[in-house]
Homo-oligomer: A and B are copies of this chain.
Amino acid sequence: MPGGGCYRALYSPAWSAASELVAAWLKEAGLLVRRDAVGNVWGRVEGSRGGRAIVTGSHIDTVRGGGALDGALGVVAAVEAVASLVASYGRPTRILECVAICEEEGSRFNTNLWGARAIADRIEPGEVERVRDGDGTSLADAMRAVGLDPAGVAGAVRRDIDAFLELHIEQGPILDEQGPRLGVVTAIAGTAHLEVTVRGQPDHAGAMAMTRRRDALLGASAMALAIAEVAVRMGHPAVATVGTIVVEPAQVNVVPGVARFVIDARHSDPAARADLVNEVTNACKVIARERGLDVDVRAVRDRPPVRLDPRIAEVLRRACAAAGVAPRDMTSGAGHDAQVLAAAAHAGMLFVPSIGGRSHCPDEATAAEDVILGARALATALRELSYQS
């Protein structure tokens, strides 16, 4: 794509091609392959003792201009780990499954964690019709275009998963800079999305005096700077980001009358996250008042922080130790499928370093030896869970 990087948007041709590729790998590994009601791709090997399933995987979609590893690493490592376990040790005692989750990023549609929410029975009534992409296409129509029935979304629900393990890149600089080479995630930060609309007055950019303007973009600019300042002052792991902004009427020669942007605010501690949301909201209101602007701040997403399963974390720590690494316990600032699947299973996550902490960009990278280390630790953990005697 322009600017480099990849973009596998949910239900797009690139996404379909990737789904088919993963299905082919799973088939090649001898797994029973199926596509579920929302397009998650599953590969399954039956366990000799049945029971609830041990599942590993990650998402197959990407952000726009994303890197090669976010999501894809966890899918490829899942296939590799399960295939090599079955090749080495034969049939597991427990049902063992790989999953390529259809959507996590929220890149195309105004929703996210779609695939994991479908598995965990967290899709909202009417969501398939209501949620649309930038071109106005509904999720339902996009599903139909790839041969899925939007009326059948509930068919993706799984109530028989025991454990979900996800290998993922850290997407931050901690492991890369401070080590060690593996991290065990104990909690995932809660994300609040606040939609901010600033209303001033559109005026002629040549004729209206500077001192008489109510410029919505200048208000939004001051707010963006103040929002970042709030997170910096609160300190790690608080983050607050303005990733999108649009102005109206968006003409070179017209003072912006409206500016709209979204704040992404995160913290792994529920109380601190609430403070962060309050402080950025207040900062916007104070600036609007000072500049004679109207401002509306509306919460459009409010996901609480999630603790991952302590027992699975122990399994992952043992697996890391077996690979020769004493892992770091970490909280994830990024959201992950595991945070949703934690409601339906015992969920755990393993991080490998991101070089320079870079992610959601074409430069996203992890050293090959760290990829191998992560995949090996994942396989070891899956073996402990799936080959119990």
Cβ proximity bits A135-151 to B, threshold 8 Å, 1 near / 0 not: 00000000000000000
Which listed residue (B193, B238, B243) contacts A255, Cβ 8 A?
B243
Q: Does A348 sit at the interface, judged by CB under 8 A?
A: no
B222 near A225: Cβ-Cβ < 8 Å: yes
Q: What per-residue 1/0 map shows which CB atoms of A202-228 lie under 8 Å from chain B?
A: 111111111110010110111011001
When all copies of this chain in the complex are counted, the total is 2
**Central interface residue in A202, A204, A211, A266, by most chain B CB within 10 Å:** A204
Alpha-carbon separation in the docked complex, A246 to B3 (Å): 15
Q: Which residue of B lies closest to A2 (CB)?
A: B248
B105, B203, B221: the one within 8 Å of A224 (CB): B221
Please judge, given known A-B contacts A207-B172, A245-B217, whether A65 and B239 are in contact too, CB under 8 Å: no
Question: Is A264 a contact of B202 with CB atoms below 8 Å?
Answer: no
User: Which B residues are in CB contact (< 8 Å) with A232?
Assistant: 210-211
Q: Cα distance A159–B63 when bound, in Å?
A: 56
A128 on the B face (CB < 8 A): no
Q: Give A201 to B363 CA distance when docked, in angstroms.
A: 10
Q: Would A242 and B217 count as touching, CB distance under 8 A?
A: yes
Q: Is the CB of B208 within 8 A of A191?
A: no
- The answer, yes or no, to whether A335 is at the interface (CB within 8 Å) is yes
One of A15-23, A82-90, A354-362 at the interface? A354-362
Q: Which residues of B contact A256 (CB under 8 A)?
A: 242-243
Known pairs A215-B228, A224-B217; A254 contacts B63 (CB<8 A): yes
**When A and B form their complex, which 4 residue pairs have the shortest distance between CB atoms, in order from nearest?**
A171-B207, A172-B207, A221-B221, A205-B241
**Told that A64-B249, A206-B333, A211-B232 touch, could you supply 7 new A-B pairs with CB distance under 8 A?**
A63-B249, A171-B207, A173-B209, A202-B361, A205-B360, A206-B266, A244-B252
Task: Enumerate 28 A-B pairs (CB-CB under 8 Å) in ascending A order.
Answer: A64-B249, A65-B248, A65-B249, A106-B252, A107-B251, A172-B204, A201-B361, A202-B361, A204-B359, A205-B239, A205-B243, A205-B264, A206-B335, A207-B333, A207-B359, A210-B231, A215-B241, A217-B243, A218-B224, A218-B228, A220-B221, A225-B225, A243-B251, A243-B254, A243-B255, A244-B251, A253-B264, A253-B360
